[in-house]
Structure 1
C-alpha cells in the first residue's frame, strides 16, 4: 500500500470513474460493499470513501486498486487520506445502508436525484424497466398509505406479476434484481436478514439469498414518508420515472395496475394524511416558492424536447404530473372559472375539493403542458369548457385567467 503517495489527481480520477460507472457497478467491479459510516462529499454528491480511495490507489504508477481487505478502516486509512488532501468527509451514524441520507441533504432533492440516476442495464439502447416498475409499485403503496415494509413472498408475487405484464424490453420476471439494485441505490430497506446483501447480478446467489433470508422490504422510511405526505414529491418522482425510463412507451396499463391512475387515466385518489382544513391560513410566499419550484421542473422537461404526450399514442393521459399539481396548489381549492356558479358541496374521499385540472389550449393543438395553459375547474365548468355551446368564449377567458394567476402566484415571491 502507498496511501501516502495519493494526490487529489488520483482521487479525482476515481471519482470520475464512479460517476461514469454509477455507484452499484463501481462497488461491484471493485468488490466493495456500501459504505456504512464515512462518505466523501464532492460537488454536492456523496461517494463511498473507502472504495474511492481503494480505486484511486490503482491510478498510481505500478500499483493496483485496493480491496476492502486492504484497509484497517476508520479514520486511520481512507478517511484520513481524504481529509489530508482537503476533501470533505461526512460521518453518518445510521445503522443500515438502505436507510441513510446525507446529513444536510434536502430529502426531496436527494430522492429525485437517486430516482433519476439509477444504475440500469440497457437493451438496444433503451433502459430496462426492473427498477422503474418496482418504484411505481411502491409509489402506489405510499399513495394509499399501505404498510411500508412488505414480506418477501408478497413482494415477489406482486413484482413477478407486474414484470410479466409490463416489462417490454426483455426483462425476466426476477424481482430479486430490482430489489437488490434499489437497496444499493439507497432507496430500499431490507429487514430480517443477517450478513451482507449480495450484488444485483447473477442468478444463483440472489435466488439463494432471498430463499434463505426471506427479508421484508420497502422504500426507506424517509422516502416513503415524503411520498405519502407530499403530492408534489409523488408527481416529481412519477414524472422523473416516466421521462427517464419510459420514453416511447405508453405506461397507462402499468399505472392503472399499481393504482396511480384510474380507469379513465386520471390520478388516483390519495389517502388523506390528515383532514383537509379549508380554513387553514395560506402563506403566499411559501405557496409561490413551491409553485416556482414545480414550474421550473416542468420547464426543464420542455427544454428537453417537450412532454411525453408527443411520443405516445394516448395523448390525453400522460401529461406532466407536476404541471397538474402546480395548478392544484395555485387554485387554493376553488374553481378558476370567474363565472363559476358554484362548486359541488361534496368533497373527495380524502376531503379535498372536487376539481379537474385541464389544458385550456389542447396539447394536440399546440398548447403547452405548463401551468400557464392550465386551469382547475369544477366538473360543471369543465364540461362547459369541453363541450358547451359557449366553450370557445370560456376558453378565451380561462386562458387569460391562467396566465394572470400564474404570474400573480410567482410574483408573491418578491
Structure 2
C-alpha cells in the first residue's frame, strides 16, 4: 500500500459522525459514499451545490429517513471538508450563519459553488477499482451495515463491490507477518499495544500464545476469551478496554490477530464482541487482580448479513452487562507449600464453582456462552487437586512433563461434557495430559475410560474435601 493510499484510508477511518437522538448522524458518510460512486462512474470530480442538493437530498430521504429539506444536504456538503475528504473551489463570497459555522442556504443557492473529493483521492478512486472497492467497503461496513436494499445501486457502486464488499478491505484474513513491526510497516498502527487500530482506524486485537495474557478458545463453540488491556492491578475501562466497549456497543467487527508459540502474527479472523466478563487473574507483578474477558465470536467478514445465526442471536441478547465471575470467589493466590493449605483453597474454590454452576442452571441472556463458558474457578481447583500430574491413573504418556515456562502440560476436561448436561464443578472435571485427553475424547475405548475417569475425579475430590485443614 502506498503512502497516499494509507493516508486516505486513515482519513476515512477517522470519520466519526456525531451522536444524535436515535443514533449517529450519517450525513457525511452518506455524501462520501455518493462521491465515491461518482468517481467510480467517471463523473467530474467537482459538483455544483445545486447538483448535489438535487441528487443527494432524495437519497437521504429514502435511505436515512430524513425530511426532504435542502438543509440536510447543506450540513455534509460544508462539513465533510473538515475530515479532509472534501474541498471547495471557492468559498470567499459565501455568507455564513451568525455563528460562522456554515454558509446560509440562501448564499449556497445564490452562488452555487462547486466542491468535491480532494484531487488525490479522486485520482486514486477513479483509476484504481480495487482501492475504490476498499474505500467503499470500509464506509459501508462501518456506517451502513448491512446496506439497505437498493443503496449500492443508487450510489453507482453495485458493480464495483458486487463480489468483494467486505473482502476488499486490507489486510486479508490469513495474512502473516514475522513480527508487529512488519504489520505496522505495511498497515500502520501501534507496534506494541495489544488493542489498537491499524491505519484505517479499524480496531485490531493481538493474542500471543507466549503471553503475557491468558487468552484461550472457549471449548466446544469456537469462540475466544480475550483478556482485557492492563498488565498489573485491577483492569479499568480505559484505553484499549474503552475501545473494546465502544465496539461492543456498536456491534462492530474488529480484526483478531494470533501468534502461536514460535510462529508468526496472522490475521486469523474478523470477530465481534458478544459478551464482557470479569474474572480473577494474576498480573505481571504476581498479585491477584480482576481482569476483563471479552468474548469474541469469529465471523466471515465485517458485514453483518454474513454473520452466523448464533452470533446474531448472541448480539441480540447482549445488553452490555458485565458478567462478574469474581463475585463470591476468592482471589487467585500462589499455591501453598503445605498440603493442608492447598486442600483448604480447593474447598473454597469448589464452593465458589458450585455457586456459579447453580446460577447457570437458569436461562441466561446469552445462552450459548453461559452454557459452554467453563468456570475458571473450577479449573483452578482441579489443577490444585492434580498436583501438576495427569489424573488418569493408567496414564502411559508423560504425566509430569512441563513447558518452557515450567507449567504442567495439562488440560482440564469435563468428564461429562457440558453440552450433554455435565456440571461445571470439580467433582465432574479432571486434569489430563494431551494424550489421555485425546483417548478420552476420540479413543476407541473412550466410554470405558470416561467411566473410570469420572470415578477417579470423584474419589480425588472427596479426598481433598474431607482432609483436615
- TM bucket by the smaller chain? 0.3 to 0.5
**Larger-gyration structure (1/2):** 2
More strand by share: 2
Report the TM-score when normalising by structure 2.
Answer: 0.34
TM-score, length of structure 1 as denominator length: 0.38
Q: When you count helix as a share of all residues, which structure comes out higher?
A: 1
Structure with larger RCO (C-alpha < 8 A, sep 6+): 1
